[in-house]
Amino acid sequence: MEETILRTDNVVKRFRGLVAVNKVNLNVFKGEILGLVGPNGAGKTTLLNVINGIYKPEEGKVYFEDEDITGKKPEYICKKGVARTFQITRLFVNMTALENVMSGIMFGRKELSDFKEAKKSALETMQFVEFPVEKRDVVAGSLNVVEMKRIELARALLTDPSLILLDEPATGLTPSELPIMINLINKLHEKGVTTLVVDHNMRFIMNVAQRLVVLHYGEKIAEGTPKEIASNEAVIKAYLGKKYIF
């Protein structure tokens, strides 16, 4: 039996009349790379927002490592070991790359005694995400897309997560830049970090995820291996249009 790290139990999130997430049961297993896909507006980002405490669901429960974290504050959930990145990179644009990464220390699980130690840790993490270290003092607003994504990932990693939620890490990347992000996620996997990754890019998600969950109008319509999902009739109808060829 695989061990569950995160579980949502019949989660419902509504915005006025609109049901953005409808009775979703999600199981994320320890150590896996789980992909979450579906058309625009399917509820993917909303589900991540419920998991990390940005939204409180109207119904249902969220359990992280068997603790009921439903409706807890994002800071609390982050301290427990759940980090995330955003669909549109959210960096402090006037702060340097290094300062952005260091800001992660304030929200994380690590207890660091001083500034020097925090800086050392930040620089190591920047190295891990292969950020060009000579640019560490450049303001984040003037970095390119890949560099911004690396910095946002480094900041999330500095909180020392056991689960990381990545919302469209491949968006804005050129086809030649995709392998960079795939490689980074695989490196996280080797480190033992569990990953829940949302993305639209089929080439990316089919390559990086070990298992996929498909949302459509807020409901889970399928889950399985990338191979199973690629030829799933309901998924083809709702999302893929035709069978995905590897």
Chain positions contacting Mg ion, by CB under 5 A: 44-45, 87
Which of the residues 85 through 144 are near ligand ATP (CB under 6 A)?
87
Token pair listed for 191: 């480190």
Backbone angles phi, psi at 213, to 5 degrees: -120, 135
Q: How far is the CB of 21 from ligand ATP (least distance, A)?
A: 7
Which of the residues 76 through 95 are near ligand ATP (CB under 6 A)?
87
Which CB, 16 or 116, lies closer to ligand ATP?
A: 16
| Order of strands, sheet of 33-37, starting from the edge strand that comes earlier in the sequence | 82-85, 163-167, 194-198, 33-37, 211-216, 219-224
Q: How far is the CB of 167 from Mg ion (least distance, A)?
A: 6
Residue 20 interface partner, choices ligand ATP, Mg ion, none, CB cut-off 5-8 Å depending on type: ligand ATP
> Which residue from 42, 122, 126, 213 is in contact with ligand ATP, where contact means CB under 6 A?
42
> Which residue from 2, 15, 58, 67 is in contact with ligand ATP, where contact means CB under 6 A?
15
SS3 state of residue 36: strand
> Which residue from 33, 34, 35, 43 is in contact with ligand ATP, where contact means CB under 6 A?
43
Q: How far is the CB of 238 from ligand ATP (least distance, A)?
A: 12
> Which residue from 6, 11, 20, 122 is in contact with ligand ATP, where contact means CB under 6 A?
20
Q: Rounded to whole angstroms, how far apart are CA atoms 167 and 154?
A: 15
Q: How far is the CB of 51 from ligand ATP (least distance, A)?
A: 12
Token pair listed for 152: 């946002």
Q: List beta partners, residue 61.
A: 9
Burial class (CB in 10 A: 0-12, 13-18, 19+), 74: middle
74 Cβ neighbours under 8 A, 6+ residues apart: 52, 53, 54
> Which residue from 1, 17, 40, 174 is in contact with ligand ATP, where contact means CB under 6 A?
40
Q: What is the 3-state secondary structure (H, E, C) of 59-84?
A: EEEEEECCEECCCCCHHHHHHHCEEE
Which CB, 189 or 200, lies closer to ligand ATP?
A: 200
Q: Per rule CB under 6 A, is residue 149 in the interface with ligand ATP? A: no
Contact set with ligand ATP (CB under 6 A)? 15, 18, 20, 38, 40-46, 87
